[in-house]
Amino acid sequence: MADFEKKMAKLVNIIGGLLERKQYAQLKGLLLPMESADIALLMDELPGTSIPILFRLLPKELAAEVFVELEPEHQEQLIKGFTNAELKEVLDELYLDDAVDIIEEMPANVVRRILAHSEPEMRKSINEMLKYPEDSAGSIMTTEFIDLKRDMTVEDCFKRIRRNASDVETINVCYVVDKNRTLLGYVTIRDLFLADYEDEIGQIMDTNLISASTLDDQESVAERFGRYDFLAMPVVDTEGRLVGIITADDVMDVIQEEATEDMEKMAAMLPSDKPYLRASIWETWKSRIPWLMLLMLSATFTSLIITRFESALASCMILTSFITMLSGTGGNSGSQTSVAVIRALSLREIRFSDILVVIWKEIRVAVVCGLSLAVVNFGKMMLVDRMLFGNPAVTPLVAGVVCCTLFFTVVCAKTVGAVLPMLADRLGLDPAVMASPFITTIVDALSLLIYFGVASALIV
Amino acid sequence: MADFEKKMAKLVNIIGGLLERKQYAQLKGLLLPMESADIALLMDELPGTSIPILFRLLPKELAAEVFVELEPEHQEQLIKGFTNAELKEVLDELYLDDAVDIIEEMPANVVRRILAHSEPEMRKSINEMLKYPEDSAGSIMTTEFIDLKRDMTVEDCFKRIRRNASDVETINVCYVVDKNRTLLGYVTIRDLFLADYEDEIGQIMDTNLISASTLDDQESVAERFGRYDFLAMPVVDTEGRLVGIITADDVMDVIQEEATEDMEKMAAMLPSDKPYLRASIWETWKSRIPWLMLLMLSATFTSLIITRFESALASCMILTSFITMLSGTGGNSGSQTSVAVIRALSLREIRFSDILVVIWKEIRVAVVCGLSLAVVNFGKMMLVDRMLFGNPAVTPLVAGVVCCTLFFTVVCAKTVGAVLPMLADRLGLDPAVMASPFITTIVDALSLLIYFGVASALIV
């Protein structure tokens, strides 16, 4: 992708030059054949003052497509500079779900102006969609699709599609509703092509419906898209009436969002909606400090354990040197397992009923990992710490204590790492929270207890 | 989704009963209206012996769809039980990309049998596709699509689509090629509906092509799908000839796979292709031990640092109690930053040229986080450790040393967490490897050096 970025940087320069020399015809010729997403990327890179100029060079439809892809601050700036007529023109070209996405990012006065200049029908739909909770199926659906009646013929459908093709988000799937708008079935454009012109929709439609409800969580919608390889899914209200559809391109965004959210939770952050650079220092602090604070305070337990064994440590100071190695290795072992289990849960490869299988698997892996680590570490302590660095305090007995602790720590860590996310899932909590940092804190305490237990038994 | 699982568990019971009583007509009636993915899920849950019986109840086309969705071991079992005629029937119904996916999971003798019973043309295509490297665009594309010539009229196209609709993966986008199969442009089915029957394809096609090359990495393909909201993308060979297309449903799988891979790397595992439960103990060990071993051995540095300051520690044993809290908080702070930066890099929200902006942002966040943590920790050490637990060794001076170290550790950790992934990206390495465990090991050493540095200056 480095090539792509170089190309873009070059284009930014060229466009800057053309703008300076006011060579608008060449500029237009340069922009027209480009993808809207790329034009938006270029505009976001150029100085803010040139955005309205470029925007006005674009034909209406392309301008609207570019508008959707711009950064919110540039959208806001453009809207503020628009005449009422210009604003209306752009709004008329927008798909409803894009309009809603934009409105959600705008300050209240801009939202009022947008709503005031939308067609009454669009305004009504926007207001409807703004009511759906964030991350619900209702909030990502579009209300522009092709609906058919069961007594239409295939030929009627073709006519209807031809009439509406330019206003709907997709024509690849059409939905069949009755007069109360209850969803009855669907036909794909492919079904229509394979049928005879005279066939009735009621006969060829697929009634085996998998739909989302407006309040369903977007993550579960994405999961169903993946399971059934859908390109579109109907959304019905609580009375089974068709209110919208969700398309694959929106689901791809959802999958990325959900993966980001899981990663953030796994790294002890509260998930945030904003792209990295757009979050303020204060917002970033707010998303990071709660877990840092909680985990720091819970480390009081490990301090207490160490204080408790202070005299034992004082009599064999060398043991102190291996505390960070032991808690580090325990933490890493535990997070490997917890992340693998969390991901498998979220991809529905495993569920709570598999808990015994998972624990059994992790214990066996832990035994093999623990043994390999202990053996290598024993060798390392003898050869490197004792012989190479000439530290006489590293006796075979000390190495034995450390390696014994290492083995049991890895086994405990992997067991805890497997159990906690599964329990969280069972209790309806998000398993992603049970990842590395949380596990690490527990494993730190466990590894110290094991360490001092083994040491007391064998040395002190 | 708990509802869905309960429904499935109930169905497994009902089907088991029907199978036992040999009520095949009812069974068929039950299965026919279901989605192929759900039938496959049920079959995977039922005892292996019932799979061939259920499979033979299904009509040819549905049977093939179900076959694609089954677990590889059940696919293998079915293939082994098939007569040659049955095998051929299933193969003829498969889409090429599904056939290739299945073949990649089968042992050599099964692959030979599959290839021997494929149509010669399909066999040739399968062999071609098996040659593309894993995770390349070529390996996820399908070669069944609709191609058009530029001198065809829209009416010709409709006829061609009608003739081929049942054999291709999608008719939503059709590709225009010349006689050497060089890709010239594309038309969507919507364009065709909006055009007149007499229009020539050469006039209405979109020549603004964004295509993948067969050797492109699937991650970069997914990134372009996301950027341009595509539902399909053409794949060309090194001479610009159209060889296949990639559809959105396959890209959703890629996005999930890539997110899993990043999470695995972030948790110090080598990425594995296999779902959690299907990886053997040995395979799981192999993916987890390299980083565990490396990180354990690199902890030698922290041991050395502690040994170096052993006498200082011995004279003020209470300092030992806070080592794990300090390295834990440092590790957590660092992994928050590194995961946020890694994710932003992989979603292309930031790139290497933003490095100074990122570092400046992280330093400011670190100062605010570090201060909040230090203040709270000072209070906690005074109130809890000193007063509540009555530990006289926790003097204000000791608390000052710990909190001072805490502050600088957080700042260092967040800086390291920001710089390393960006450097890795610059060097063409995968930034995901620079996540928590790697950062933690570095931060452990740093926090100890700061700790003993501050302690030597203020106490000893």
CATH number at residue B427: 1.10.357.20
Share of chain B above pLDDT 70, in %: 99
What is the spatial distance between Cα B345 and Cα A406, in angstroms, rounded to a whole number? 35
pLDDT per position as a tens digit, B105-134: 888 788 888 888 888 778 888 877 788 888
Is the confidence at residue B2, as pLDDT, over 70? no
Interface contact flag, B208 A33, Cβ < 8 Å: yes
Question: Are residues B108 and B119 in contact, defined by beta-carbon separation less than 8 angstroms?
Answer: no
The tally of domains found in chain B comes to 3
Interface contact flag, B208 A34, Cβ < 8 Å: yes
Within 8 A by CB and 6+ apart from A120, the residues are none
Could you give the angle at the alpha carbon of B291 between the alpha carbons of B290 and B294, nearest 5°?
A: 90
Token pair, residue A442, equals: 């527990």
What predicted TM-score, i.e. pTM, was given to this entire model? 0.78
Within 8 A by CB and 6+ apart from B87, the residues are B79, B113, B114, B117
Is the confidence at residue B373, as pLDDT, over 90? yes
DSSP for A306-340, written as a single string: HHHTHHHHHHTGGGGGGHHHHHHHHHHHHHHHHHH
pLDDT per position as a tens digit, A390-437: 888 888 998 999 999 999 999 999 999 999 999 988 888 888 877 767
Interface contact flag, A255 B256, Cβ < 8 Å: yes
- A282 within a domain of the structure (yes/no): no
Domain boundary among A82, A112, A134: A134
Average pLDDT over residues A119-127: 80
- Chain B CB contacts of A306 under 8 Å are 320-321, 323-324
Question: Are residues B443 and B418 in contact, defined by beta-carbon separation less than 8 angstroms?
Answer: no
Residues A123 and A151 in one domain: no
Residues B238 and B385 in one domain: no
Chain B interface disruption, residue of A336, A383, A411, A451, most B CBs within 10 A: A336
Who wins on pLDDT, A175 or A128? A175
Q: What is the pLDDT of residue A187?
A: 93
Question: Are residues B250 and B100 in contact, defined by beta-carbon separation less than 8 angstroms?
Answer: no
Residues B448 and B317 in one domain: yes
Question: Are residues B195 and B153 in contact, defined by beta-carbon separation less than 8 angstroms?
Answer: no
Q: What is the pLDDT of residue A308?
A: 84
For residue A141, the cross-strand partners are: none
Question: Are residues B211 and B236 in contact, defined by beta-carbon separation less than 8 angstroms?
Answer: yes
Confidence of residue B379 (pLDDT cuts 50, 70, 90): very high
- B204 within a domain of the structure (yes/no): yes
Is the confidence at residue A56, as pLDDT, over 70? yes
Residues B434 and B356 in one domain: yes
Interface contact flag, A296 B264, Cβ < 8 Å: no
Average pLDDT over residues B2-29: 85
pLDDT per position as a tens digit, B176-186: 999 889 999 99
pLDDT per position as a tens digit, B139-150: 888 888 899 999
Is the confidence at residue A53, as pLDDT, over 70? yes
pLDDT per position as a tens digit, A351-395: 888 899 999 999 999 999 999 999 999 999 999 888 888 888 888
Token pair, residue B232, equals: 């399909």
- A292 within a domain of the structure (yes/no): no
Which range of residues forms the domain containing residue B59? 2-131
Question: Are residues A189 and B172 in contact, defined by beta-carbon separation less than 8 angstroms?
Answer: yes
- B272 within a domain of the structure (yes/no): no
Helix (H, G, I), strand (E, B) or coil at A197: coil
- Chain A CB contacts of B190 under 8 Å are 165-166, 171
Q: What is the pLDDT of residue B124?
A: 80
Name the closest residue on chain A to residue B247, using Cα atoms: A231
Token pair, residue B13, equals: 């019971």
Interface contact flag, A299 B347, Cβ < 8 Å: no
What is the spatial distance between Cα A293 and Cα B429, in angstroms, rounded to a whole number? 33
- Interface predicted TM-score (ipTM) over 0.90: no
Residues B125 and B156 in one domain: no
Within 8 A by CB and 6+ apart from B395, the residues are B386
Interface contact flag, A324 B448, Cβ < 8 Å: yes
Token pair, residue A386, equals: 């004792």
> Considering CB atoms only, which of B252, B336, B377 is closest to A268?
B336
Average pLDDT, chain B: 87
Burial per residue of A373-405, b for 16 or more beta-carbon CB atoms within 10 angstroms, e otherwise: bbebbbebbeebbbeeeebeebbeebbbbbbbb
Residues B368 and B450 in one domain: yes
Is the confidence at residue B1, as pLDDT, over 50? no
- A/B interface, count of CB pairs below 8 Å: 369
- Chain B CB contacts of A59 under 8 Å are none
Interface contact flag, B267 A1, Cβ < 8 Å: no
Question: Which residue, A236, A162, A169, A232, is CA-closest to A192?
Answer: A162
Question: Are residues A369 and B289 in contact, defined by beta-carbon separation less than 8 angstroms?
Answer: yes
- State the smallest CA–CA distance between residue B365 and chain A in angstroms: 6
Chain A interface disruption, residue of B95, B186, B207, B229, most A CBs within 10 A: B229
Phi-psi region of B360 (alpha: psi -120 to 50; beta: other; left: phi over 0): alpha
Average pLDDT over residues A217-242: 87
Interface contact flag, A369 B223, Cβ < 8 Å: no
Name the closest residue on chain A to residue B207, using Cα atoms: A33
pLDDT per position as a tens digit, B224-267: 888 888 889 999 988 888 988 998 888 888 888 888 888 888 88
Residues B446 and B335 in one domain: yes
Q: What is the pLDDT of residue B436?
A: 67
- Indicate which CATH number applies to the domain containing A39: 1.25.60.10
Average pLDDT, chain A: 87
Confidence of residue A76 (pLDDT cuts 50, 70, 90): confident
Task: Please give the helix or strand (H or E) that residue A193 lies within, else none.
Answer: helix A189-194
Q: What is the pLDDT of residue A349?
A: 85
> Considering CB atoms only, which of A208, A299, A373 is closest to B33?
A208
Domain boundary among B259, B288, B311: B259
- A107 within a domain of the structure (yes/no): yes
Chain A interface disruption, residue of B39, B436, B448, most A CBs within 10 A: B436
**A149 burial type by CB count under 10 A (0-12 exposed, 13-18 middle, 19+ buried):** middle
Share of chain B above pLDDT 90, in %: 22
Interface contact flag, B266 A268, Cβ < 8 Å: no
Residues A450 and A305 in one domain: yes
Residues A204 and A96 in one domain: no
Interface contact flag, B339 A267, Cβ < 8 Å: yes
Query: Number of C-alpha atoms within 13 angstroms, CB side, residue A458?
Result: 19
Confidence of residue A199 (pLDDT cuts 50, 70, 90): very high
- State the smallest CA–CA distance between residue B381 and chain A in angstroms: 9
Q: What is the pLDDT of residue A184?
A: 93
Residues A91 and A177 in one domain: no
Name the closest residue on chain B to residue A169, using Cα atoms: B190
What is the spatial distance between Cα B42 and Cα A153, in angstroms, rounded to a whole number? 36
pLDDT per position as a tens digit, B382-391: 998 888 888 8
Interface contact flag, B437 A376, Cβ < 8 Å: no
> Considering CB atoms only, which of A166, A291, A324 is closest to B194?
A166
Token pair, residue B242, equals: 């159209």
Task: Please give the helix or strand (H or E) that residue B377 lies within, else none.
Answer: helix B355-380
Residues A367 and A221 in one domain: no
- B98 within a domain of the structure (yes/no): yes
- Indicate which CATH number applies to the domain containing B171: 3.10.580.10
Residues A319 and A429 in one domain: yes
Is the confidence at residue B415, as pLDDT, over 90? yes
pLDDT per position as a tens digit, B39-68: 988 888 888 888 888 888 888 888 888 888
Domain boundary among B229, B259, B289: B259
Task: Name the phi and psi angles at B233, rounded to 5.
Answer: -140, 135
> Considering CB atoms only, which of B229, B335, B369 is closest to A436?
B335
Confidence of residue B377 (pLDDT cuts 50, 70, 90): very high
- A269 within a domain of the structure (yes/no): no
Token pair, residue B180, equals: 């050497």
Within 8 A by CB and 6+ apart from B347, the residues are A256, A260, A275
> Considering CB atoms only, which of A225, A262, A292 is closest to B333?
A292
Name the closest residue on chain B to residue A378, using Cα atoms: B297
Name the closest residue on chain A to residue B210, using Cα atoms: A35
- B76 within a domain of the structure (yes/no): yes
| Per-residue DSSP letter, B292 | H
Name the closest residue on chain A to residue B325, using Cα atoms: A299
> Residue A260 corresponds to which amino acid?
T
